[in-house]
Amino acid sequence: MSDIETQERIVAEVKEFAANEIRPFAAEFEEKEAIPRELIDRMAKKGYLAACFPEEWGGLGLDPLYYGLFTEEIGKACSSTRGLLTVHTSLVGETLVRWGNREQKERWLPQMASGEKIACFALTEPLVGTDAGSVQTSYREEGNQYIITGSKKWITCGNIADLFLVIANGEKGITAFIVERELAGITTTPIKGLLAGRAAHIAEIEFKDVAVPRENVITKEGSGFSYVVNSALDNGRYSIAWGGIGIALEALEAMVTYSRKRSQFGKKIYSYQLIQGIIGDSVTKVHAGRALCLKAGRMRRDGDADAVMETTIAKYFTSKIAMEISIDAVQVHGGNGCYNRYPVERLFREAKILEIIEGTSQVQQEIISSFGLRRYYIK
Ligand SMILES: Cc1cc2nc3c(=O)[nH]c(=O)nc-3n(C[C@H](O)[C@H](O)[C@H](O)COP(=O)(O)OP(=O)(O)OC[C@H]3O[C@@H](n4cnc5c(N)ncnc54)[C@H](O)[C@@H]3O)c2cc1C
């Protein structure tokens, strides 16, 4: 891991980068339905595609706490860009760092760090979402290869990815494979008409008898769910938790700024107590959500066994408050809040997605509740 001063410098730099080179263009990316390749390349040059990878693999060596702060800055500027990092760096990259063997790490991590290869995480299917253990994409053994067939849906970066971390079911149970795009039998189709995440190159992917070499299995056959998926979703939830704070803070800044500039009945609207109530609640929620994310980050850094639960709590909470605060930000903007010339209109749509991805809020509630039923039971 990099020393603290270096990590602080990287987070300060990404704040400036995000504010100047991403945030002003977020609406344009949405309109064009694409994060430009040129931005991805610039982020790669700065090491941002591998911010939390160890330096050995071409990363910046940010620890979980600083990686969270880093993610917040990108998520505040543009949720689609944060989405790219969530899947490429957190769901696939960090999972390979954790579960890949030496050969797999040498083969893929440096290329992912340099942006030469973009990775995506292919779990969800047209008929299988929350019940991820029932994936229907199948594999079968054939000599020294596995033959994969099936469809994946809603795959962030699926349309531009070079590497697909595919979760498939077969004789030996759920297994995770790295599938390279150049293999025969892969078709990707962009998904248009999305509520948000429009620039994140989201796609449907078809695998038709794709022959994947045995050495592309991550961990071993049958361990795809317990090791790879659980780990990947935990990494993804941590990234989303900070992404939620990014949206919440951006919406709070927008509502405060607007309320101090807009006048009605001869007074600035912030002077009305009902508007002050909204702002007071929003500030409190942002501070509380940030405290949860920081706590989860410290626990992850320290290898605390409860870090996974704290991450789930943080993800559930910040996606909820991002939604609440962005709804309130639209309200404070009145008619202008319903207009895409004002960022709150986009933030409002982006926040909703966070309550659905990496496990819906209902699933998070169930997980947190079963933890609470054990932890807070007094015999
Ligand atoms: C913008 C976007 C990007 C995405 N990116 C990716 C990606 O990169 N990779 C990937 O694999 N997937 C991705 N997804 C898919 C996402 O993870 C799923 O949409 C999500 O897991 C929910 O699955 P579903 O849509 O099939 O909903 P369903 O599972 O059908 O759920 C529908 C509703 O039923 C509720 N529900 C389901 N089961 C239960 C239960 N047991 N108890 C209570 N309520 C329940 C849910 O909470 C939800 O409200 C993305 C989705 C979106 C919208």
* CATH code, domain with 277: 1.20.140.10
Question: Within a domain: residue 379?
Answer: no
108 lies in the same domain as 125: no
Residues 6+ apart with CB under 8 A from 57: 50, 97, 105, 109, 110, 113
Structural domain boundaries, residue 53? 4-118
87 lines ligand 1 (CB under 6 A): yes
Residues 351 and 327: their CA atoms lie apart, in Å, by 9
Distance 265 CA to ligand 1 centre (A): 45
Residue-wise pLDDT tens digits, 273-316: 999 999 999 999 999 999 999 999 999 999 999 999 999 999 99
Residue 358 falls in the annotated catalytic set:
yes
How far away, in angstroms, is 356 Cα from ligand 1 center? Answer: 6
Query: Which residue type, as a one-letter code, is found at position 91?
Result: L
**Residue 38: partners with Cβ closer than 8 Å, 6 or more residues away:** none
Dist. CA 253 → ligand 1 center (Å): 30
Residue 356 beta carbon below 6 angstroms from any ligand 1 atom: yes
The pLDDT score that the predictor gives to residue 363 is: 97
Residue 93 reports pLDDT greater than 90: yes
Q: Which residues, at least 6 apart from 216, have a Cβ–Cβ distance to it below 8 Å?
A: 104, 146, 177, 178, 179, 180
Instruction: Name the domain count of the chain.
Output: 3
Domain assignment of residue 378, yes or no:
no
Q: Is 132 in the pocket of ligand 1 (CB under 6 A)?
A: no
pLDDT of residue 2: 78
pLDDT of residue 253: 98
Candidate of 153, 358, 360, 369 to mutate for ligand 1, largest count of ligand atoms within 8 Å of Cβ: 360
E strand or H helix that includes residue 25: none
Task: Give mean pLDDT, residues 229-242.
Answer: 98
Check pLDDT > 90 for residue 348.
Answer: yes
On average, the pLDDT of the chain sits at 97
Catalytic residue among 72, 182, 358, 366: 358
216 & 232 share domain: no
Structure tokens given for 248: 């919440």
Q: Residue 142: its pLDDT value, please?
A: 96
Q: How many Cβ atoms sit within 10 Å of the Cβ of residue 302?
A: 11
For ligand 1, say whether the CB of 367 is within 6 Å of any of its atoms.
no
Q: Best mutation site among 89, 225, 356 for ligand 1, i.e. most ligand atoms within 8 A of its Cβ?
A: 356
Q: Is 58 in the pocket of ligand 1 (CB under 6 A)?
A: no
Tell me the per-residue pLDDT of 18-71, one tens digit each, with 9 for 90 and over. Answer: 999 999 999 999 999 999 999 999 999 999 999 999 999 999 999 999 999 999
Beta carbon of 121 within 6 Å of any ligand 1 atom: yes
Which of 124, 179, 191 most suits a substitution to test ligand 1, by most atoms within 8 Å of the C-beta? 124
CATH code for the domain of 16: 1.10.540.10
List the structure tokens of 57.
């693999």
Instruction: Out of 200, 221, 242, pick the residue that ends a domain.
Output: 221
Residues 202 and 236 in one domain: no
Angle at 229 between CA 72 and CA 207, to 5 degrees: 105
- Both tokens of 128, joined, read 């299988």
Portion of the chain with pLDDT greater than 70, in percent? 100
Same-domain check for residues 62 and 152: no
Claim to verify: residue 126 and residue 114 sit in the same structural domain: no
Which residue lies with its CA nearest to atom 25 of ligand 1? 129
354-379 pLDDT, tens digit per residue, is 999 999 999 999 999 999 999 999 99
Q: Check whether residue 363 and residue 239 sit in a common domain.
A: yes
| Ligand 1 near 284 CB (within 6 A) | no
> Ligand 1 within 6 A of 50 CB?
no
Pair (94, 136) in one structural domain: no
Residue 54 CA to ligand 1 center (angstroms) comes to 31
Please list, in sequence order, all residues whose beta carbon lies within 8 angstroms of the beta carbon of residue 33, skipping any fewer than 6 positions away: 190, 192, 198, 199
**Nearest-atom index, ligand 1, CA of 196:** 1
Q: How many angstroms does the Cα of residue 333 sit away from the middle of ligand 1?
A: 31
**Same domain for 97 and 159?**
no
> Does residue 284 belong to any structural domain of this protein?
yes
Answer yes or no: do 171 and 72 share one domain.
Answer: no
Last residue of a domain, one of 170, 195, 221: 221
Residue 177 has phi, psi (to 5 degrees) of -125, 145
Asked if residue 351 and residue 239 are part of one domain, the reply reads: yes
